[in-house]
Structure 1
């Protein structure tokens, strides 16, 4: 362990997330790192383990066999990738996912080729190396 163990609050500060997000979402995942100790009444986590978990969970390219000319809604994309629908919506709003290819109706739809290209980029650029 090269860095000092961190609490959930410290992890949240480092990643710019709310502690509640880490506690109620990330730490509930089955592959979340095991605590390496305790500080008063808080679990401590190895920062390298948390970084590795995040890289596996959200930063890497997401391999899905998209049909290039197929049209997919955000719900379809969320179901195929395992990413939360709220994450995908926010990434569209901040231009980390491209605008929908078909906006003629609801829901808006993206071509498989558009999504495949977008999923090769990091959806959390502040944390990409």
Structure 2
């Protein structure tokens, strides 16, 4: 019988491209974090499949399905449930971390659904939407 794969904090961090600090101080504090299945050295071991399920369900966010040609304001995007606030969009725009608007008619910044989706996919912890 094949033993289930077990991971310790540094291996989890490497596998999911995060810092060990993120694993120990953020993820493992979550109520849904898996129960340790053993110990290796000074580290607790976790079942790799349990960790993967946790990351899929609680860390990686699915990018929302936005209508590709529709124009969205920052407030519209927040209301669509993209996981970031309108204020964050405006701050990131001013810092060059969010794309320039596709339309500025009437002094209001608007982005197409396509532009917003591409911007979200470039952010950490978002996956391409399978809907749409």
Q: Which runs of 5+ in 2 are unaligned?
A: none
Contact preservation (8 Å) 1:61, 1:120: no
Deviations 1:74-104 (A, max 9, x none): x948xx4446x7xxx6xx85xxxx7242697
Contact preservation (8 Å) 2:66, 2:113: no
Aligned-CA RMSD value: 4.3
CA distance in 1, matches of 2:118, 2:9: 30
Q: How many residues of Structure 1 are paired with residues of Structure 2 in the alignment?
A: 110
Q: After the TM superposition, which parts of structure 1 deviate over 6 Å for at least 4 consecutive aligned residues?
A: none
Trace 1:1-129 onto structure 2 (pairs within 5 A): 2-3=4-5, 5-59=6-60, 61-63=62-64, 68-72=70-74, 76=78, 80-82=81-83, 93=97, 99-101=99-101, 111=111, 113-114=113-114, 117-118=117-118
Relative to structure 1, is the Cα distance of residues 21 and 48 closer, same or farther in structure 2, using a 3 angstrom cutoff? same
Relative to structure 1, is the Cα distance of residues 63 and 32 closer, same or farther in structure 2, using a 3 angstrom cutoff? farther
Deviations 1:23-63 (A, max 9, x none): 11222222222222223432211111112222223445244
| Greater percentage in strand | 2
Q: 1:19 offset after TM fit, Å?
A: 0.6
The structure with more radius of gyration: 2
Q: Which runs of 5+ in 1 are unaligned?
A: none
TM-score when normalising by structure 2: 0.53
